[in-house]
Amino acid sequence: MTRTQLGLLTLAFGLLPGCAISAIAERESNEAGIGKPSPEEDASSPEADSGGSDDRDGSAADVDGGQDANLPLPPLQDAGPALPDAAVPSADGGTDASVPDAGKPNEDAGLPDKAPKIDGVIEAGEWTTATRITQSEPTNWGVGKNQLSDLYAKVFDGRLYIALAGKVEAQNALVLYVDSQSTGGSAPKDLKDDTGQLDNAISAALTIPSTMKVDFAFGVRAMGKWGAGLDDTMGWRDLRDPENFAWFDTASVAPSVCSLDACETSIALATLAPTGVSMLMFARILTATGDAASNQTLPYDAPSNPLTVSNVLTLKVDN
């Protein structure tokens, strides 16, 4: 397997003003921002979804489904079939876990590439060979409560590795959408699974480019979590059955860990079963009902209209 160091970053649509894209170079993570209300007081307005250019709007789905955020659902109530185990990546034994890598030089330069350690900590040098995108729009959902600044994506040794720098309150969800299969998938607004703490958020009222149909998603409803099995509030979902998402074990199949300010996860390419040379992805912070999104978008999109996705990350499956 060759490195992803040359991972190609393109955007499906033109970059918008203010877009901060850095495929390889490191930048300071932007934690600055001014105090803004939490989404209860300042959620994006419903009309944000109007005016999208998506020509598949004709079948707008009802993704509401009611507020289930705080219901103590049985863990397996909505679990789909457990999928076959994939190899668990080896830990890389990082020794400086307390130091985020933002702005640091590539300390792995010249060394063999290796798998990131899935521990929720973006360590110095750990993601330097990943494709990285950033955005610096201050959050309008509460500084220190709901934030999203960086997405790292890397294919290594047959697995997709993802890191998301940010945080999310328990009444919301941080979601990464992945289009790995060109022949299938859905627009999020056409997904209809409303059972499970992540499912309404994933089934969000998002308009996406007509060139994209999502097949998988990673989501989390709370920070400070180690994957420990099938988790109602964290992990990967298979969206190929748009009305009954399958889950993946957050420890053995798709290791997932969120510290208080970042999530890391990995999943086998064989599970995502990519059908092309690249995968498309984007991330949002959404209400649990999926009706509103925070203004912070990755890749960067118009902050006033976060429910319309214009820009997506293209990650090469292999080089």
Q: Which residues bind Ca ion (CB under 5 A)?
A: 117, 119, 121, 179, 181, 185, 213, 215, 264
Closest residue to Ca ion, Cβ-based?
Answer: 185
Phi/psi of residue 11, nearest 5 degrees: -115, 140
CA distance 198 to 189: 14
Quick check: helix, strand or coil at residue 231? strand
Task: Locate 231 and state its tokens.
Answer: 């988790």
**Closer Cβ to Ca ion, 280 or 292, answer by number:** 280
Question: Is the CB of 212 or the CB of 288 nearer to Ca ion?
Answer: 212
CB 266 to Ca ion: min, Å: 10
Closest C-alpha among 238, 253, 265 to residue 78: 238
Residue closer to Ca ion by CB (options 238, 264) is 264
In whole angstroms, the minimum distance from the beta carbon of 216 to Ca ion comes to 9
Q: How long is the chain?
A: 319
**Least distance CB 66 / Ca ion (angstroms):** 28
β-partners of residue 130 are none
Q: How far is the CB of 303 from Ca ion (least distance, A)?
A: 27
Closer by beta carbon to Ca ion, 200 or else 256: 256
Closer by beta carbon to Ca ion, 39 or else 188? 188
User: What is d(CA 207, CA 200) in angstroms, rounded to the nearest whole number?
Assistant: 15
Shortest CB 21 distance to Ca ion, Å = 22
Strand-pair category, 147-156 with 225-226: unpaired
Beta strands in the chain (DSSP E): 20-21, 131-134, 147-156, 159-167, 172-179, 216-220, 225-226, 234-238, 246-247, 256-258, 262-268, 278-287, 313-316
- Nearest CB to Ca ion, comparing residues 179 and 231: 179
Quote the least distance from Cβ 77 to Ca ion, whole Å: 27
What b/e readout covers 109-146, taking b as 16+ CB neighbours within 10 angstroms?
eeeebbbbbbbbbbbbbbbbbbbbbbbbbbbbbbeebb
Rounded to the nearest whole angstrom, what is the least distance from the CB of residue 97 to Ca ion in the complex?
A: 8
Q: CB within 8 A of 193, min separation 6: which ones?
A: 78, 199, 200, 202, 203, 242, 243, 244, 245
The least CB distance from residue 40 to Ca ion, in Å, is 32
Cβ closest to Ca ion, residue 68 vs residue 96: 96
Rank residues 117 and 159 by Cβ distance to Ca ion and give the closer one: 117
Backbone Cα Rg of the chain: 18
